[in-house]
A and B are shown apart, each in its own frame.
Chain A
Amino acid sequence: MKSNLVYVLFRRLRWPLVVMILVYAVLVLGFVLIPGTDEQGKPWHMDFFHAFYFVSFMGSTIGFGEIPHAFNGMQRMWTLVGIYASVITWLYGIGALLTTIQDPAFRRLMTDSGFQRKVRGIHEPFYIVCGYGDTGRQLVSAFADEGIRSVVIDHEQMRIDTLEIAALPELVPGVCADASQPDVLKKAGLEHDYCQGVIAITGDDEANLSIALAVQLLRPEKLMIARAEDPHATANILSFGANVVINPFKTFAERLALSLHAPGMFVLFEWMTGVPGEPLREPVFTPRGKWILCGFGRFGRAVYERLIVEGIHATIVEADPDKTGAPADTIEGWGTEAGTLKEAGIHEAVGIVAGTDHDSNNLSIILTAHELNRNLFTVARQNKRQNDELFHKADVDLLMRQGSVIAHKIYAFIRTPLIEDFLRHAQQHDNDWANSVVARISAVVTDEAPHLWQLEIGPGQTPAYVSLIGRHRITLKDIRRRPHDRDALLDCVPLLLKRGIKETLLPPDDTEIELGDQLLLCGRREVRKAMEWGAGNADVLAYMLTGEEHPSSLLGRWLASE
């Protein structure tokens, strides 16, 4: 609390202040008592007011002059005493002040109370993000671009410093503390009404579990998204509350498997969870055949198991087969030298996965493998975002960027929850259906990842529709009309219509729209803005529906003519 800070400061300055008051008092008293001699030789006395005035400007080293008459010897002697006493007292006081401010405990108190003040000052919905590594950085940056507020906790001071330097469009308060402690979460705003939920994406499964537990016990109604790499931790966090757990390795392994048996579906999934504005991913044709898998950690294991489901038995290359529990036919080695790879059968292989937890090893594996077999399909795991350029140059076919996988999934989940519903339905369709959807979406976006948005028919997002629905028939086609040219339609694809619990995939244009409907649409960013403009502005909407351009009286005329 701010008052605590002030109290601590004053407590430290107590004795310097007392000494200063006493020194000033003695000096003032001295000047009052000591008789002066005026020009005629008659004695005069200073009164308290003038004595205080003189001592004030002497003590602050200003020194106007001897007033109202020149001082005699005794007064000047007392002035000498006063000069040295007051200046030394001031130095003592200022020294105490500086020592207090530089004290690490005091500075921690200052940053802490500053942080709490910033959190209290957030008057919009916000999320608490625990962990500011690669994932946290991408997520917070994506949130800030969309105008979603967040509060960051990380246990490394350097990362919090990075947060302060990053020029984000919104103010993101950050603190260096252990997020698994309940009072740290409370300070970060867990109990605020505006806090929407907690996202635990630290690098440590144990810490994420502790955070999930704390949130469940303190505020079970708030959203909780956690990241877990270990399957046991995943099951653990899922076992209490309604938490969402994201396992980056499992997610990627499932995508890889998808790219094997349904490349169209794979592209669709990638687009649905990509960050808008990124360059479009081209379809990937993962070959079937002999695969080599380097590294049997949690990532390697997840990939191996999915490949088995797809009917591919991969040869594993692992440096420590006993410790990781690798199957019997594992080749022992790093996979970074040609010898080990040849032993694994690199010349007959169609694909290789570099899945160790060191970027340098993975890059080395890919480079060596390319030299031995030019036609290999390469899959690599990138651990640290700073190696982006190296992996880009290595020309890997399928790159798993750990931080990105989680950040994208969380971002999609929070911003457009309908995506989850859409993907759930989409999985039940076959690859040809997915290809047709991909073709439709490609037609409306140019070469950037499609922008996805939700439209809820209601007073919040679409006030202009609210008064008209129910009395007049509004179809999906009307929503899609261009605000500037009502005979043309906006380039977008309606992906999902959710009415209550009923969900319709790819609703046709003549579907009637009711109040409370939720739509998931896909297109370019400008298209979204145009649609939201029409939905928010009654005059624009009236033009779109009837085609006449007169403002204000138009709606009345339309209602009257019906």
Chain B
Amino acid sequence: MNTEKVLFAFFIVLALTLNFGFFLGDIAEPLQHNVYELFAALVVSLVATVLKLGDSSHIGAVFLATSLVADLQLIAAAIVWGAVQGWSETGLTHGTMAAVVSLSGGAVLANVISVVLLLAETLNVRR
């Protein structure tokens, strides 16, 4: 029972679950997407990225890349949401909500690839 391995897998899977949870629901309906969940998804995604640093193998590089992509998408979503809510005259419209959710959808895909890689690595080790 390796604590480090448990934590590593925990954060990666948690990143995917939170992200997917935020993504679920009508793409243009603000009430179906909780801002706290986006926040949580972003934080856990950042933690997962840091955990993936420091592995110079090929699979480690791709791992890190997927995490960075997910971070990028979620940060973009948060910025769009915050900017629209804070500074635009119309506030959060259906269109901008759709933009935010679609960005998070991209992050979901990146996280899915990340989890698939994690599974592949785990199956290879086979212990």
Contacts and interface: CB of A to CB of B under 8 A. Distances in A.
A binds B: yes
Given A14-B51, A28-B39, A48 B56 contact: no
A49 interface: yes
B47 A18 contact: yes
* Majority SS at the chain A contact face: helix
Given A7-B55, A32-B39, 4 more contacts: A10-B54, A21-B47, A22-B43, A48-B78
A32 B35 CA distance: 11
Interface in A40-62: 47-49
Contacts of A48: 35, 39, 78, 82
Contact of A21 (B36, B46, B78): B46
9 contacts: A4-B56, A7-B56, A8-B54, A11-B53, A21-B46, A28-B39, A32-B36, A48-B78, A49-B82
A102 interface: no
Contacts of B51: 14, 18
Contact of B50 (A8, A18, A25): A18
State the 5 A-B residue pairs at the shortest beta-carbon distance, nearest first.
A11-B54, A10-B53, A25-B43, A49-B82, A17-B50
A334 B56 CA distance: 62
B46 to A, nearest CB: 5
Contacts, number: 44
B50 A21 contact: yes
B85 interface: yes
B86 A47 contact: yes
A4 B60 CA distance: 13
Contacts of A561: none
A238 to B, nearest CB: 44
Contacts of A29: 36, 39
Contact of A47 (B43, B47, B85): B85
A509 B7 CA distance: 86
Most chain B CB atoms below 10 A, which of A3, A4, A7: A7
Interface in B34-84: 35-36, 39, 43, 46-47, 50-51, 53-56, 78, 82
Contacts of A3: 56
B30 to A, nearest CB: 14
Contacts of B35: 48
Q: How large is the interface on B (under 10, 10 to 19, 20 to 34, 35 or more residues)?
A: 10 to 19
Interface in A15-41: 17-18, 21-22, 25, 28-29, 32
Interface residues of A, number: 19
A527 B13 CA distance: 78
Contacts of B54: 7-8, 10-12, 14
* Majority SS at the chain B contact face: helix
Interface of A: 3-4, 7-8, 10-12, 14, 17-18, 21-22, 25, 28-29, 32, 47-49
A47 B82 contact: yes
Interface in B84-117: 85-86
A7 B82 CA distance: 34
Nearest to B85: A47
Contacts of A28: 39
A498 B122 CA distance: 70
Contacts of B46: 21
A480 to B, nearest CB: 62
Contacts of A25: 39, 43
A49 B42 CA distance: 13
B73 to A, nearest CB: 17
Nearest to B83: A49
Nearest to B55: A7
Contacts of B82: 47-49
A49 B84 CA distance: 11
Nearest to A12: B54
B68 to A, nearest CB: 13
A14 B50 CA distance: 6
Nearest to A11: B54
Contacts of A10: 53-54
A408 B55 CA distance: 50
Contacts of A8: 54
A493 B2 CA distance: 80
A10 B36 CA distance: 29
A48 B55 CA distance: 33
Nearest to B56: A7
A14 B86 contact: no
B43 A21 contact: yes
A260 B35 CA distance: 99
B81 to A, nearest CB: 8
Contacts of B39: 25, 28-29, 32, 48
A10 B50 CA distance: 8
Nearest to B35: A48
A81 B63 CA distance: 35
Contacts of A22: 43, 47
A197 B41 CA distance: 58
Contacts of A4: 56
Contacts of A17: 50, 53
A17 B48 CA distance: 11
Given A21-B43, A48-B35, A48-B78, A7 B85 contact: no
A8 B54 CA distance: 6
A4 B54 CA distance: 9
Nearest to A10: B53
Nearest to B81: A48
A3 B82 CA distance: 36
A18 B43 CA distance: 10
A21 B15 CA distance: 14
A7 B47 contact: no
A402 to B, nearest CB: 46
